[in-house]
Amino acid sequence: MTLVPFSDLARAAYCPRQLYYVRRDDERSVPPKARERIDLAFRYDELVDAADRVLRQLPLHRSPATYRRNLAQLRERDEYDRLVDPASERGFLSGKDCHGTVHKVLEPDGKETEGADADDPEPSPPPIPTLVSSGEPPENGVWEPQAVRAVGLAKALAWDREREIERALVEYPAVGVVREVRLTLRKKAAYREALRAARSIDGPPPRVDDDRCNACDYAAECGTRRRSLRSLLG
């Protein structure tokens, strides 16, 4: 069965019709400004004590003082050292159902983990995949499409390592916060629904017409009553 890109999972969870247009146009490029914000996830140790003048030159979503405070709180987390120095960065990961880029893989000891064996019946803690987002987090948790993509990462890593992966992380480096995604029954069900939607698209899916359309670049072409910011400014 065809493997689904991780990014397609997120789009299918957000709006299958948007995914149809993206596939039709073969447009999955990351905008330059978003790429700059994603790159911040690999500079935490450098930025946590950076001066205001340095931070003001970066594409942050927070003031320098708030950003430093957020990174200082992040530094207190158990995963911080591994976020700063992950076992792998921007690697390609392929699972049973989906594939694509995993921004980081965090290992408990910095090395690839293994399951239990005859000499050591206790398996080492599982690795943690991370997804880096260029945007803003919600007040609590992560956005549903990002949660679906994070579950896809975890399931692909579990397939690759032949062991259960219980959680993933979503990083918001332009804000300086990291959120956890647990593979609950509800989140795994949302993942399966998005996977089915992504695989079933062979023509334009039904339109939606709600707040999702406000942020969609295809709103005008789609024929909804709402118009995207890009269409209004164009």
What pLDDT score was predicted for residue 112? 55
Could you tell me the domains of the chain? Answer: 4-231 (3.90.320)
Is there a contact between 62 and 175 (Cβ–Cβ < 8 Å)? Answer: yes
What pLDDT score was predicted for residue 205? 85
**Rounded mean pLDDT of the chain?**
89
- What is the torsional sign of CA 98, 92, 129, 161? positive
- What is the torsional sign of CA 184, 186, 190, 192? positive
- How would you classify the pairing of strands 177-182 and 128-132? unpaired
Per-residue confidence at 210, pLDDT binned at 50, 70, 90?
Answer: confident
**Residue 111 buriedness (CB in 10 A; 0-12 / 13-18 / 19+):** exposed
pLDDT per position as a tens digit, 146-160: 999 999 999 999 999
User: What mean pLDDT do residues 175-195 have?
Assistant: 97
What pLDDT score was predicted for residue 154? 98
User: Which residues fall within 8 angstroms of residue 150, CB to CB, at 6 or more apart?
Assistant: 129, 131, 142, 168, 169, 170, 181
**Among candidate residues 165, 138, 169, the one with its CA nearest the CA of residue 154:** 165
Name the β-bridge partners of 104: 89, 130
What pLDDT score was predicted for residue 225? 54
Q: Does pLDDT of 7 surpass 70?
A: yes
What pLDDT score was predicted for residue 206? 83
User: What mean pLDDT do residues 30-54 have?
Assistant: 96
Of all residues in the chain, the percent with pLDDT exceeding 70 is 89
From CA 229, how far away is CA 219, in angstroms rounded?
A: 9
pTM of the model: 0.88
**Among candidate residues 12, 15, 37, the one with its CA nearest the CA of residue 137:** 37
Cβ-count burial 44-70 (b if 16+ within 10 Å, e if not): beebbebeeeebeebebbbebeebbeb
What pLDDT score was predicted for residue 227? 46
Q: Does pLDDT of 201 surpass 50?
A: yes
Is there a contact between 182 and 166 (Cβ–Cβ < 8 Å)? Answer: yes
Q: Does pLDDT of 71 surpass 50?
A: yes
The token pair that represents 214 in the structure block: 């406000």
| 213 DSSP 8-state letter | G
From CA 107, how far away is CA 104, in angstroms rounded?
A: 10
Q: Looking at mean pLDDT, say which of 118-132, 194-208, 210-224 comes out highest.
A: 194-208
What pLDDT score was predicted for residue 118? 47
